[in-house]
């Protein structure tokens, strides 16, 4: 089935690694190279070592890609019949091949024939929420960050004071017994939008009457756009924690306008240019004013962006949750899996803002040189198959995005895992006390325990509690991920306690010691239900493998991020908790958890769908540019070809080819040539030939210098412009306009203009490039 565009759902330990060999060998026999894609470098290396002897007995060569591998080794690996690699390694090499290299000899990949994706849900779903990009250093002035840092911190402090006043008001209402006060819901809403993680608000929301008032007000506000706009204008800024957007209030904008000396309202550029075009100004004056308007807009947009990123750094992004600091650098954390994302950076200046917040040296801003999504990369393979233990939950997305059917494979031994009902708590503290008590109890029995936590922060909290009790344990989180395999391998020993984020053990067997089997196997403790049900399934899949015994217990409190951020109504369940013993099981809370997970699943799926919808628009343009770039490198595209296209267009427009030619090229004529493309191209060919003979260069190398340099520079600027266009299109959704359609229509026009401008720029750069070569030649001589 791997050979026929399907995902095999196979439980851990059921032979996925070996199954991939059978499908890969069949593909090699058909003359196709195979890429076996794994979730990380360790698994790629392990599986290649394990399977290499078998492949070699079958007559197949095996290659391996690893982070930091030298170029000759990478090229040799790609020449093999079967290649083990991560998706990121393959994608970055693809982008390098099509966006960075300058000669055919530097090319790595030799076509995309057949891919077998191990841990397909992790690779094709979890990693598919952000694009992959190769970036280069951008010549930019970082002083704007330092200039705005202090005023942003002051605004952040003013926001904290504003929230403090709201807290005091709510506290007074509750102290006076005014839980039914008509302003209570409004005040709580204002705190929530000003500081979504406010701890006092979370405590108050444990009271059913307070939560009910907030939920009633939210429903009222969402039904009134005018009221919602008025609320968002309170304080200094409002935060949407789900899409990480910031909206500055009028008073906040006024403060920054005083500091900067001008308004922060971005001018309506299209309208101003339309008025300018109708004016009586000369063409030169119109062009000068267009450039001035564009410069003004870019300056304001840059200032707004830096302000927004600095506010996000302080108000939204938390150390040891969304990122960690390692070796004086910011390293991103995948909040779904807990894995580090080395080499990736927060975009649009957020990375520099967080560095400034953490008092680190700011890294240079980067500019995207080439980018794609995992969806549009993977879909270029002619054949595709996948394997994972948790595929059915996302079966619709596998089919809709990748045209992959999910086929469940029954286990060869019956699963005897014991499922304990979830234990539910009002607050986080009560839940944590019960978790630690249960760890002590199970540990006393000698059973191994794996504690699955939701973040680095929570894993360290549990660790601190166990350390205080003198319980030996091991922690696996994003800070020590390099020891993952070794830690997980020991997690099945008698009495072992392993604390891990949801990254734990994907693709790594937890082998039980014989005495652990006799004691009941590995016991899993889930300190919360994750945002996605699939992550719950992955955690419980760590125990009871291949017929071994095992058990699972989840703990949920109404203060868990899953419950808080879902904004589902839970007020009606609070009376139950107030009457019940801590840790009671409530079927209604199970329902809330299921609804919350479904809500987040829909949100993440929607984000991936929108990402790929926008990228689908760009993909056609990107592939055309990549094809042009490869044609240039391979010598199949010349300046003469572009010149001929340009002259044909001038002629078709009824204009003089000769006038355009003499305006573009500083070539003198002994006699006036024919006003035809063919005659003018011959003149150009003769001029370049004479220059090549005098200066000693090859025409193909000259063409590549002119064509490639201009294409790369223009494409970088175009990618940046597309980013701005996409942001604008997304804002149009508030005006009931489909943002993807708006983006598609506008980018199509932009791309036509891009190609036309590229042709013009190439023609204009021919003789300045010749002049540069001549100066360099004089220096050498």
Instruction: Give ∠ CA 445-451-456 in degrees, rounded to 5.
Output: 150
* Residue pair 268/298 in contact by the 8 Å Cβ criterion: no
Rounded Cα distance, 675 and 664, in Å: 15
Strand 423-425 versus strand 497-500 pairing type? unpaired
The two three-digit tokens of residue 387, written as one number: 């394997």
pTM assigned to the model = 0.80
Rounded Cα distance, 446 and 449, in Å: 9
Orientation angle between helical segments 269-278 and 283-315, nearest 10 degrees: 170
Rounded Cα distance, 326 and 316, in Å: 20
Give the chain's domains with CATH numbers.
2-136+372-408 (3.40.50.300), 143-315 (no CATH), 323-363 (no CATH), 416-585 (3.40.50.300), 605-780 (1.10.3060.10)
pLDDT at site 496: 95
Orientation angle between helical segments 184-194 and 225-232, nearest 10 degrees: 60
**Contacts of range 175-179, beta carbons closer than 8 Å, 24 or more positions apart:** 179/207, 179/209, 179/210, 179/213
For 490-546, strand residue ranges (E) read 497-500, 522-526
CB atoms within 10 A of CB 669: 10
Residues contacting residue 719 through CB under 8 Å, at least 6 positions apart = 368, 369, 370, 371
- Burial-class residue 323 by CB neighbours within 10 Å (0-12, 13-18, 19+): buried
The two three-digit tokens of residue 134, written as one number: 């190769």
* Residue pair 332/323 in contact by the 8 Å Cβ criterion: yes
pLDDT at site 420: 95
Closest Cα partner for 611 from 397, 332, 337? 397
The two three-digit tokens of residue 659, written as one number: 């006038």
Instruction: Give ∠ CA 137-343-42 in degrees, rounded to 5.
Output: 150
Strand 132-137 versus strand 237-240 pairing type? unpaired
Rounded Cα distance, 23 and 34, in Å: 9
* Residue pair 368/507 in contact by the 8 Å Cβ criterion: no
Buried b (16+ CB within 10 A) or exposed e, 125-151: bbbbebbbbbbeeeeeebebbeebbeb
Buried b (16+ CB within 10 A) or exposed e, 345-363: bbebbbbbbbbbbeeeeee
* Residue pair 9/392 in contact by the 8 Å Cβ criterion: yes
- Enumerate residue ranges in the chain where pLDDT < 50: 579, 734
pLDDT at site 264: 75
* Residue pair 645/163 in contact by the 8 Å Cβ criterion: no
List Cα–Cα distances, 390 to 86, 422, 464, in angstroms: 19, 21, 32
DSSP, collapsed to helix, strand or coil, labels residue 475 as strand
Rounded Cα distance, 618 and 751, in Å: 10
DSSP, collapsed to helix, strand or coil, labels residue 191 as helix
pLDDT at site 495: 95
* Residue pair 43/77 in contact by the 8 Å Cβ criterion: no
Rounded Cα distance, 553 and 524, in Å: 6
The two three-digit tokens of residue 332, written as one number: 């991103």
- Burial-class residue 587 by CB neighbours within 10 Å (0-12, 13-18, 19+): exposed
Q: What are phi and psi of 35, to 5 degrees?
A: -110, 115
pLDDT at site 245: 77
DSSP alpha helices (H): ranges in 176-264? 184-194, 199-204, 208-222, 225-232, 250-260
DSSP state, 178?
-
* Residue pair 347/304 in contact by the 8 Å Cβ criterion: no
Closest Cα partner for 114 from 34, 6, 8, 22? 34
Residues contacting residue 491 through CB under 8 Å, at least 6 positions apart = 448, 450, 474, 498, 505, 510, 522, 542
* Residue pair 679/673 in contact by the 8 Å Cβ criterion: yes
Average pLDDT of the residues of the chain: 87
Residue-by-residue DSSP string for 353-414: HHHHHTTPPPPPPEEEEEEE-HHHHHTTSSEEEEEES--GGGHHHHHHHH--EEEE---SS-
Rounded Cα distance, 587 and 590, in Å: 5
* Residue pair 573/588 in contact by the 8 Å Cβ criterion: yes
Rounded Cα distance, 448 and 520, in Å: 9
Q: Measured in whole angstroms, how far is the alpha carbon of residue 512 from the centre of its chain?
A: 36
**Contacts of range 689-696, beta carbons closer than 8 Å, 24 or more positions apart:** 691/770, 691/773, 695/770, 695/773, 695/774, 695/777, 696/777
Instruction: Give ∠ CA 29-410-520 in degrees, rounded to 5.
Output: 125
Strand 323-326 versus strand 329-333 pairing type? antiparallel
Residue-by-residue DSSP string for 117-134: EETHHHHHTGGGSS-EEE
Rounded Cα distance, 562 and 433, in Å: 20
Rounded Cα distance, 704 and 713, in Å: 14
Buried b (16+ CB within 10 A) or exposed e, 382-408: ebbbbbbbbbbbbbebbeebbebebbe
């Amino acid at each position: 089935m791997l050979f026929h565009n399907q995902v095999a759902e196979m439980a851990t330990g059921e032979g996925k690694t070996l199954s991939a060999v059978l499908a890969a060998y069949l593909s090699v026999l058909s003359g196709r190279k195979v890429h076996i894609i794994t979730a990380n470098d360790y698994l790629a290396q392990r599986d290649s070592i394990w399977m290499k002897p078998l492949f070699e007995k079958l007559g197949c060569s095996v290659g391996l890609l690893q982070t930091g591998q030298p170029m000759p080794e990478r090229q040799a690996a790609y020449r093999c019949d079967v290649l083990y690699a991560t998706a990121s390694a393959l994608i970055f090499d693809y982008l390098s091949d099509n966006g960075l290299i300058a000669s055919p000899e530097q090319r790595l990949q030799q076509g995309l024939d057949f891919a077998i994706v191990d841990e397909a849900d992790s690779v094709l779903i979890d990693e598919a929420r952000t694009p992959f990009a190769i970036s280069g250093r951008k010549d930019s002035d970082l002083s704007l960050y330092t200039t705005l840092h202090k005023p942003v911190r002051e605004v952040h402090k003013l926001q904290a004071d504003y929230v403090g006043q709201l807290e005091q008001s709510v506290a007074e209402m509750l102290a006076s017994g005014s839980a039914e006060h008509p302003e209570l819901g409004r005040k709580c809403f204002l705190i929530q939008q000003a500081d979504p993680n406010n701890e006092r608000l979370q405590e108050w929301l444990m009271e059913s009457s307070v939560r009910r008032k907030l939920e009633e007000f939210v429903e009222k506000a969402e039904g009134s756009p005018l009221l919602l706009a008025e609320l968002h204008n309170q304080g200094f800024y409002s935060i949407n924690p789900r899409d990480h957007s910031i909206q500055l209030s009028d008073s906040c904008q006024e403060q920054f306008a005083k500091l900067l000396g001008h308004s922060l309202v971005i001018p309506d550029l299209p309208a101003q240019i339309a008025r300018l075009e109708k004016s009586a100004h000369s063409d030169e004056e119109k062009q000068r004013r267009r450039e001035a308007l564009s410069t003004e807009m870019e300056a304001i947009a840059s200032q707004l962006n830096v302000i927004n990123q600095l506010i996000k750094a302080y108000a939204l992004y938390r150390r040891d949750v969304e990122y960690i600091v390692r070796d004086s650098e910011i390293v991103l954390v995948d909040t779904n899996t807990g894995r580090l994302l080395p080499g990736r950076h927060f975009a649009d200046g957020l990375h520099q803002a967080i560095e400034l917040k953490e008092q680190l040296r700011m890294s240079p801003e980067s500019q995207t040189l080439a980018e794609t999504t995992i969806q549009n990369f993977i879909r270029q393979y002619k054949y595709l198959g996948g394997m994972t233990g948790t595929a059915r939950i996302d079966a619709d997305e596998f089919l809709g995005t990748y045209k992959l059917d999910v086929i469940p494979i029954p286990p060869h031994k019956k699963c005897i895992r014991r499922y304990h009902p979830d234990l539910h708590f009002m607050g986080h503290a009560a839940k944590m006390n019960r978790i630690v008590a249960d760890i002590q109890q199970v540990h006393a029995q000698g059973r191994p325990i794996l504690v699955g936590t939701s973040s680095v922060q929570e894993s360290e909290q549990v660790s601190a509690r166990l350390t205080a009790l003198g319980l030996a344990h091991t922690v696996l989180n994003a800070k020590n991920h390099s020891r993952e395999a070794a830690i997980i391998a020991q997690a099945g020993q008698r009495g072992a306690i392993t604390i891990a984020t949801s990254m734990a053990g994907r693709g790594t067997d937890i082998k039980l010691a014989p005495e652990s089997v006799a004691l009941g196997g590995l016991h899993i403790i889930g300190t919360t239900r994750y945002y996605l049900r699939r992550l719950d399934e992955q955690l419980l899949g760590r125990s009871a493998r291949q017929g071994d015994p095992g058990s699972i217990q989840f703990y949920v409190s109404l203060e868990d991020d899953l419950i808080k951020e879902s904004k589902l109504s839970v007020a009606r369940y609070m009376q139950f908790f107030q009457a019940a013993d801590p840790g009671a099981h409530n079927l209604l809370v199970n329902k809330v958890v299921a609804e919350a997970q479904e809500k987040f699943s829909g949100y993440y799926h929607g984000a991936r769908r929108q990402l790929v919808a926008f990228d689908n628009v760009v993909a056609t343009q990107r592939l055309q540019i990549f094809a042009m770039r490869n044609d240039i490198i391979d010598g199949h595209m010349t300046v003469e070809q572009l010149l001929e296209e340009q002259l044909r267009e001038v002629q078709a427009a009824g204009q003089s080819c000769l006038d355009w030619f003499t305006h573009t090229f500083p070539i003198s004529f002994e006699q006036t040539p024919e006003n035809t493309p063919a005659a003018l191209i011959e003149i150009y060919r003769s001029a370049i030939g004479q220059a090549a003979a005098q200066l000693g260069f090859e025409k193909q190398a000259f063409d590549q210098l002119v064509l490639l340099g201009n294409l790369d520079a223009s494409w970088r600027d175009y990618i940046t412009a597309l980013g701005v266009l996409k942001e604008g299109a997304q804002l149009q959704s508030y005006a009931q306009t489909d943002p993807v359609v708006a983006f598609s229509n506008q980018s199509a026009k932009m791309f036509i203009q891009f190609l036309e401008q590229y042709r013009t720029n190439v023609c204009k750069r021919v003789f300045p490039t010749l002049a540069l070569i001549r100066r360099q030649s004089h220096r050498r001589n």
